[in-house]
Amino acid sequence: MAITTLDEVLEFLDIETAYFIITPSNNSLTFTSSSGGPVTLDLTSASYDGAGLATHVQTVMNANTTLTGTGTITFAVSYSSSTRKFSINAGAGKTIAYTHSSSDAGLTLGFTSNKTATQTITSDIPAGDPSQVVSSIKDSVEEFVTQYCSRTFEETSYRLERYDGNGCRILRLDNYPVTAVDRVSIWTLDMISVKNSNATSTASVSVTTTGLRLVLDGVVDSTITFASNATMSAVVTAINALGNGWEAKLNSSTYANFKSTELIPVYGLSAIDDNWVYLRKTDTPLDDFDVLLERGQIARYSEWPFGNRNIYVDYTAGYTSDNMPNDLKLAIKIIIQFFYNKRDDDSFGLKEYRAHNIWATFDKEELFPKEAKYILNRYKKVRV
């Protein structure tokens, strides 16, 4: 999902979504195949996207018995959305040639010159489909807006997101509006202890979102996954089966059937020379709180305990495509339009230039439309 759709942006920019328009003034293509020709083909007047026009040209070519030799050749026509070029393939051992002077549709397909007989001919220049440029700008703008506002706007689920306890009643989540809170916990419990008995070497343990990463002398072992080892006891058994000095134990037999996915991510804990490191899960689940959904705040009836990253929250926050704010989408469109119109401007952002002594200054405000900034500032996350 995205903040706004490509179709919405194209409509805002007044760019047609049907990128190739065939009319009586640009509907002819002249080809010569190894079976016969030259033959001038007439395309049907209509609006096409790239794939649709490729399919239509292919249909028209294969319907001409002179070009195909009554079925001897079957042409394949394709359009690449990455290169924005058309390719026409006559098949192994067959050829196709193109005559530009009598092809008024040639430029529409990106052909600018004659093509000599060969198995495959391809457009000379990119053709149509400005959505590729717009889509690239759109992706970059949405990434910029996310960073500028310090928020993720699309609805996303967050698991074991950690916060510092501040001794106050209000905990401000990183993302909002909140649509669901599945768990709030404080403090941790030591589940599994891990060490490596090797000395004068290096060994470390990490817990990722998918399993364990054990590193001994730079050699990585990531075979202990949560998918294959669903419980704490299974993880311990798998570590002990590795050998190479690795050893693990449960800190309590009561933890044996706890889900391994409950382990909290940690990275690079040194376990060399019999140094025990501890893999943990959250400890105390809470029920004495209220959630302020729109603000993205969790209000506890008593204070949050002071601590460093001692609060854990599983929650879902953000907007769906149905309730994404219209003014936020407008800001995105304004910025996209600004960059789209500037894409060929060599002096982009240049405020002042002097030829003598090569003096140039840039206007920072001009790099970001103030109309969009006014809207985005309303959504910008501010920490207090």
State if pTM tops 0.85. Answer: no
- Domains in the chain, number: 3
Over the stretch 355-375, which tens digit does the pLDDT of each residue have? Answer: 545 554 445 455 678 999 999
Same domain, 25 and 92: yes
> What is the overall mean pLDDT for the chain?
90
Residue pLDDT, tens place only, 219-237: 999 999 999 999 999 999 9
Identify which of 89, 78, 91 has the alpha carbon closest to the alpha carbon of residue 127. Answer: 78
Query: Domain check: are 184 and 313 in the same one?
Result: yes
User: How far apart (Å, rounded) are the C-alpha atoms in residues 111 and 125?
Assistant: 7
60 neighbors 103 (Cβ within 8 angstroms): no
DSSP for 80-149, please give it. Answer: ETTTTEEEEE--TT--EEEESTT-TTTGGGT--S-EEEESEEE-SS--S-THHHHHHHHHHHHHHHHHHH
Exposure on the CB side of residue 15, measured as CA atoms within 13 A: 23
Residue 208: is it exposed, middle or buried by C-beta count within 10 angstroms (0-12/13-18/19+)?
Answer: middle
**Residues 173 and 289 grouped into a single domain:** yes
Q: Are 213 and 273 in a shared domain?
A: yes
Q: Which of 267, 296, 317 is the last residue of a domain?
A: 317
Looking at residue 362, its pLDDT comes to 44
Give the pLDDT confidence of 130-182 residue by residue, as tens digits: 677 788 889 999 999 999 999 999 999 999 999 999 899 999 999 999 999 99
Looking at the chain, the whole-number percentage of residues with pLDDT higher than 70 is: 91
Tokens of 21: 């328009």
């239509």: which residue's tokens? 56
Distance from C-alpha of 34 to C-alpha of 89, rounded to nearest angstrom: 12
Residues 202 and 303 in one domain: yes
pLDDT tens column, 184-228: 999 999 999 999 999 878 999 999 999 999 999 999 999 999 999
* DSSP state, residue 24: T
In this structure, the answer to whether residues 312 and 220 fall within a common structural domain is yes
93 class by beta-carbon count within 10 Å (0-12 exposed, 13-18 middle, 19+ buried): exposed
How far apart, in whole angstroms, are the C-alpha atoms of residue 61 and residue 256? 69
Which residues are within 8 A (CB) of 327 and not within 5 positions of it... i.e. 6 or more apart? 375, 378
Distance CA 213, CA 55 (A): 49
CA 132 to chain centroid:
15
Determine the Cα angle at 118 with ends 116 and 124, to 5°.
60
How far CA 39 is from CA of 65, 100, 118, 122, in Å, comes to 10, 12, 16, 18
- Extract the tokens encoding 68: 């195909």
Instruction: Name the nearest CA neighbour of 164 among 287, 301, 312, 265.
Output: 312
**At CA 68, angle to CA 64 and CA 72, rounded to 5?**
145
Mean pLDDT of 28-55: 95
- Say yes or no: 189 and 257 in one domain: yes
On whether both 192 and 325 belong to a single domain, the answer is no
* Three-class secondary structure of residue 345 per DSSP: coil
Nearest-angstrom CA–CA distance, 109 and 126: 8
Q: Give me 288's structure tokens.
A: 């004495």
Q: Give residue for tokens 């002249």.
A: 30
**197 shares its domain with 304:** yes
pLDDT exceeding 90 applies to what percent of the chain? 77
User: Is 194 in the same domain as 310?
Assistant: yes
Give the tokens for residue 230.
């669903």
Are residue 7 and residue 116 in the same domain, yes or no?
no
**Domain boundary pick from 297, 317, 337:** 317
CB of 27 within 8 A of CB of 42?
A: yes
Q: What is the DSSP letter of 246?
A: E
CA distances (Å), 35 to each of 67, 117, 323, in order? 6, 11, 58
Claim to verify: residue 72 and residue 47 sit in the same structural domain: yes
CB atoms within 10 A of CB 187: 14
Domain range for 116 is 20-122
> Where is the domain boundary, 317, 346, 368?
317
